[in-house]
Amino acid sequence: MSGLRLPDPGWLAQRRLAADQPPRIGRHPLFWGPHAIGSIEPDFAHQIRLKSPSDKDLLLQETEHQGQAAWRLRDGPGDGLGQLAQQLREISPYVRRQWRDEALAVWGPDGAPLGAVERGAVRPLGIATQAVHLVGRSRSGGFWVQQRALDKANDPGLWDTLMGGMVSAQDTVQSALARETWEEAGLRLDALGGLQRGGRVTLRRPTGAGTAGYMVEHIDWYQAWLPDGLEPENQDGEVAGFDLLAPEALVARLEQDAFTLEASLILAAALG
């Protein structure tokens, strides 16, 4: 967008740094069969082992990978991961707060789905997740943005792209894009113009202190424009409201850190 002020490079570098942080505590890889599916803090893994009544009931087994300590899931994703998630729920207040009764896919290194796991358990297990966002524009060049509801578990009250949501185990990126755009903004994709993929943002960073969690999230983002007279309207109660910002106003609000980290990176890319 030539002629418009872009976000300050120093601010953008800080946001990118915040999105790519090592774990606070060393983590060991978590394997299922030959596949590395996540990572786990050693002390947290031992807490899980203590919940098993006998050796034959152990869900996690200590092992090595390339000469380094690692952990292996006793059973494949599905039943084994389901049991492990339930044990995490018993020992971790964080997992209990995050529990959604929603399954997210567990992916192999080649991108093929191996199974599914409860959403609330993915961060302590370092399992990579997938999300999708939509950058909404007006025909005059403004950006439609949403304010997250004040009772959201994560980033309450912060500003976000027009739509952002997780890709569940039952979804493709495209079906999640369509569903979440309706639920969060009351918009059908076929009513929007110029829908196209914008790119991908990946976050790697620890989650809340004391949670033993580590986030690895791949976010595919799309962009489209809303026809004149068509405005977003939330359907699921997870949005406090919407705003239409001129690019200059969007940059100013971004630099005030009023947006979620992922939205900051996505919107900065859309502006550039």
Instruction: Supply 256's token pair.
Output: 């005030």
Quote the pTM value.
Answer: 0.92
Region 39-67: what's the mean pLDDT? 81
Q: Is residue 116 part of a domain?
A: yes
Domain assignment present for residue 264? The answer is yes
Residue 56 scores a pLDDT above 70: no
Complete DSSP assignment for the chain: -TTSPPPPHHHHHHHHHHTB---SS--EEEEETTEEEEEE-HHHHHHHHHTSSSGGG-SEEEEEETTEEEEEESS-TTHHHHHHHHHHHHH-HHHHHH--S-EEEEE-TTS-EEEEEEGGGTTTTT--EEEEEEEEEETTS-EEEEEEPTT-SSSTT-EE-SEEEE--TT--HHHHHHHHHHHHH---GGGSEEEEEEEEEEEEEE-STTS--EEEEEEEEEEEEEPTT-----SSS-EEEEEEE-HHHHHHHHHTT-B-HHHHHHHHHHH-
d(CA 254, CA 264): 6
- Tell whether 101 and 138 lie within a shared domain: no
Question: Per-residue pLDDT averaged across 232-241, rounded?
Answer: 96
Question: What's the distance, CA 257 to chain centroid?
Answer: 19
Q: Is the model more confident about 47 or about 16? A: 16
Residue 174, phi then psi, degrees to nearest 5: -70, -40
Of 121, 141, 158, the residue that ends a domain is 121
Question: Looking at residues 193-220, what average pLDDT do you find?
Answer: 94
Same domain, 108 and 228: no
**Residues with Cβ < 8 Å from 36, sequence gap 6 or more?**
29, 30, 65, 109
Average model confidence (pLDDT) for the chain?
92
Q: What is the CATH number of the domain that holds 134?
A: 3.90.79.10
Is 146 found in the same domain as 66?
Answer: no
Residue 151 within any structural domain of the chain: yes
- Considering its fold, how many domains does the chain have in total? 2
In this structure, the answer to whether residues 184 and 219 fall within a common structural domain is yes
Identify whether 87 is part of a domain. Answer: yes
Distance (Å, whole) CA 91 – CA 83: 13
149-162 average pLDDT score: 94
- Whether pLDDT at 55 is above 90: no
Backbone angles phi, psi at 119, to 5 degrees: -55, -40
202 and 256 belong to one structural domain: yes
Domain edge (last residue) among 121, 152, 174: 121
Residue 4 forms part of a structural domain: no
Residue 170 lies in a domain: yes
Average pLDDT over residues 115-127: 94
78 with 151, same domain: the answer is: no
User: Torsions phi, psi of 262, nearest 5?
Assistant: -65, -40
Residue 210 resides in a domain: yes
Whether 76 has a pLDDT exceeding 60, the answer reads: no
Task: Inform me whether the pLDDT recorded for 153 exceeds 90.
Answer: no
Residue 54, pLDDT above cutoff 60: no
Q: Domain of 34?
A: 28-121
Alpha carbon distance 127, 142 (integer Å): 36
- Whether residues 45 and 82 fall in one domain: yes
- Across 62-89, average pLDDT: 84
- What pLDDT band is residue 123 in, cutting at 50, 70 and 90? very high
Claim to verify: residue 254 and residue 137 sit in the same structural domain: yes
Same domain, 114 and 141: no
- Residue 2 inside a domain? The answer is no
- Same structural domain for residues 36 and 104? yes
Residues 112 and 134 occupy one common structural domain? no
Environment class of 108 (CB within 10 Å of its CB; exposed 0-12, middle 13-18, buried 19+) = middle
pLDDT at 236 over 80: yes
Of 73, 93, 121, the one marking the end of a domain is 121
Is residue 103 domain-shared with residue 180, that is, in the same domain?
no
